[in-house]
Structure 1
Amino acid sequence: MAPTFHRIAAGPRPVAPFSHAVEEEGWVFLTGQMPTDPEAPDAALPEGIEAQTRRVMDNLLLILGELGLGAEHILQCRCFLTAFERDYALFNETYKSYFAPDRLPARTTVGVTALAVGALVEIDLIARRPQEGDS
């Protein structure tokens, strides 16, 4: 089976040459999202880690929703923070609000020196479509 490359018309404008998601055999890989507003891509980024984390998570869920998936299908996230020590605790509080307490994805969080568009946070993820026989 060949992979499907998804470009979501309602999704955030890509800041580099990529697909919003690539899917093969039920596995869905979402490109890291920035805290940009899909409806106003040239607008200033939200202020602070909480607002930027919410925008990133909302962008990821928008893409998943366009593919018929939701937060419950997320299996793994990779998170990148430019001010790790300053922002880690508030990032965690904001991030976890998007998941049921018993359905937290596997996760890696890394401090980085910079991100595209001057963002404080970027998150990519892996999701999986329900398979036949799943309950």
Structure 2
Amino acid sequence: MTERLLRTPTLHRVVKHNGIAYIGGIVADDDSQDMAGQTREVLAKLDTYLKEAGSNRSKLLAVTIFITDMNVKPDMDAVWKEWFAPEDLPARATIGIADLGERALIELIATAHY
């Protein structure tokens, strides 16, 4: 059975199926922040979506991160390492892209078990 949670006009933030939660594109609401600030906000939203799915950050399996400037990736990485316990780090890829719209610097998608 598939369960869809947190509907928006264009997607569900979380789709649960067969013990896995798929969490769709998360961007910061406050796009005036720098990379570290936007990363903190995106990870806080991820925490909320994981909780809604009956999961938590220790159950993340994989995260794909899209950023618009690879030169500030170290700022994102610093926040990322603060957020996770080292033993809970998921598989991860960071992809540099040209544009996320407006002033968004980071977007992520995630997969977790629950």
Higher fraction of helix: 2
Is residue 6 from structure 1 mapped to residue 5 from structure 2 by the alignment? yes
User: Which gives a bigger RCO, structure 1 or 2 (Cα 8 Å, sep 6+)?
Assistant: 2
Structure 2 unaligned residues grouped into runs of 5+: none
Structure 1 stretches of at least 4 aligned residues deviating more than 6 Å after TM superposition: none
Q: Which amino acid aligns with 2:76?
A: F
Separation (CA, whole Å) in 2 of partners of 1:47 and 1:118? 9
Structure 2 counterpart SS, 1:80? strand
1:68-79 correspondence runs (5 A): 68-79=54-65
Separation (CA, whole Å) in 1 of partners of 2:111 and 2:56? 12
1:28-47 correspondence runs (5 A): 28-36=21-29, 44-47=30-33
Aligned residues: 114
Separation (CA, whole Å) in 1 of partners of 2:32 and 2:18? 36
Is the radius of gyration larger for structure 1 or structure 2?
1
Separation (CA, whole Å) in 1 of partners of 2:49 and 2:102? 20
Aligned-pair identity in percent equals: 25
Separation (CA, whole Å) in 2 of partners of 1:101 and 1:29? 22
- Superposed displacement of residue 5, structure 1: 0.9
Q: Which amino acid aligns with 2:54?
A: G
Separation (CA, whole Å) in 2 of partners of 1:120 and 1:126? 21
- CA separation of 1:20/1:80 partners in 2, compared to 1, >3 Å: closer, same or farther? same
Conserved in 1, the CA contact under 8 Å of 2:16 and 2:53?
no
Higher fraction of strand: 2
Structure 2 counterpart SS, 1:20? strand
Separation (CA, whole Å) in 2 of partners of 1:5 and 1:116? 26
- 1:19-71 Cα shifts (integer Å, max 9, x gaps): 011110110000010011xxxxxxx4242000000000001111111222111
Q: How does the TM-score come out when normalised to structure 2? A: 0.92
CA RMSD of aligned residues (A): 1.5
Structure 2 counterpart SS, 1:97? helix
1:19-98 correspondence runs (5 A): 19-36=12-29, 44-84=30-70, 86-98=71-83
Structure 1 unaligned residues grouped into runs of 5+: 9-13, 37-43, 130-135
Q: Which amino acid aligns with 2:40?
A: R
Separation (CA, whole Å) in 2 of partners of 1:116 and 1:63? 22
